Amino acid sequence: MSTPTINVALIGSKFMGRTHSNAYLKVAKFFDLPVNPVMHTIAARNGAELEKFAARWGWQHASTDWKATVTNPEIGLVDVSTPNYVHRDQAIAALEAGKHVACEKPLAGTLDDAREMVKAAAKAKKSKTFVWYNYRRCPAIALAHQLVKAGKLGRIYHLRAAYLQDWGGPSTPLLWRFQGDLAGSGAHGDLNAHIIDMARFITGDEITEITGAIEETFIKERDIIADPSAGGEISGKGARKAGAKKAKSTVDDAVLFLARFKAGAVASFEATRLSTGDKNRNRIEIHGEKGGIRFNFERMNELEFFDATGEARTQGWTTINVTSGNSGHPYAAAWWPDAHIIGYEHGFINQAADMFAMLGGKAPVVPMPDFADAFETQKVLHAVILSARERTPIKISSIK
């Protein structure tokens, strides 16, 4: 008996379009799924590049009309991997057409857009929603979640998280990510969104207050790309004037904040694209009464664990190589023998596996963020900016 299938439409053919395409292409080859994806249609604006992209990544059809794509009766799942400012329109149109919807993070560029998406998802009762917080699907982060849930850390005291990159220096031109009306924010929405979600996911707890925050834009102007199709620049409102060679960067380059969790833990978060020498240093530490965990994505196949309940003379940080399916490491059984490590793209494939498991009525390996879940992260993002600009603590309960 053949496995049921669902036709997928992907909107967006740039960086995330590639990662999502690879996930759909590979997921059924490594995971036994109750429903398999069919790569039906890729939709994007640049028609000249689209046919080549479709052929390269295995899409059966290509379209420059996303509205027609999301209403196509043959499509079952719509995947939104476009810039943040169009998430709302594309996701809501798909939900109103009765589709399941997967959306890139953050949920939207603004809190208002995210709120409308959550309302649309609640109204579309037969549609499932998913958000690509892909770091939940790293085996080390999934294991950290399981260890905390099992009580291995006991009461959590404090958490430190930082997402550090160095690609946002003065030589980087005015991409859409540096335009506030398109991206919503800079390093904050791009990077802090990930570590806020990771913190909520691992601890199983919610942030209740932002006690203080700093927001800074160091690079005030950036070069305008002469050929937008070559470099990915998208002009926002007032982003460029006729004949201008530079335009304003209207997003943050770095945001740092302090927070409190409902169960009493305190936390610090930092995101920047100007951390010289750090390429993708996504780090999180959590310390509790019974133990602690540490993770750095630049060593993504490792989770550090400290067991404070053992004999004192043999205590120390243990580095767990999270590649053993026989030992119960999450997702590892689908991949390679022990210590045959996986990489960035595998988090997306693991997420795709959980998505199609859920579409087939099965449970995911670890909890999947839907639109309502991702809205909780969006509220924190919004509260941080309020705190930074008003220089005051902000209760999350005040963000509706």
Residue 94 and residue 169 in one domain: no
Residue 288 and residue 380 in one domain: yes
CA distance 56 to 78: 20
pLDDT at site 243:
54
Residue 28 and residue 153 in one domain: no
Which CATH number is 35's domain given?
3.40.50.720
pLDDT digits (tens, 9 = 90+) for 160-180: 999 999 999 999 999 989 998
Residue 130 and residue 145 in one domain: no
pLDDT at site 234:
45
In a domain, 30, yes or no: yes
Residue 285 and residue 151 in one domain: yes
The range of the structural domain enclosing residue 230 comes to 138-390
In a domain, 378, yes or no: yes
In a domain, 396, yes or no: no
CA distances from 48 to 12, 45, 81, 228 (A): 14, 9, 19, 14
Residue 194 and residue 246 in one domain: yes
Can you list the residues of the chain whose pLDDT is less than 70? 226-244
pTM beyond 0.85:
yes
In a domain, 226, yes or no: yes
In a domain, 51, yes or no: yes
Domain endpoint, select from 99, 134, 169: 134
Residue 187 and residue 88 in one domain: no
Residue 166 and residue 59 in one domain: no
Domain endpoint, select from 89, 115, 134: 134
In a domain, 50, yes or no: yes
Domain endpoint, select from 113, 134, 155: 134
Residue 258 and residue 318 in one domain: yes
Residue 130 and residue 142 in one domain: no
Which CATH number is 358's domain given?
3.30.360.10
In a domain, 400, yes or no: no
Residue 128 and residue 161 in one domain: no
Residue 36 and residue 166 in one domain: no
Q: How many independent structural domains does the chain possess?
A: 2
In a domain, 399, yes or no: no
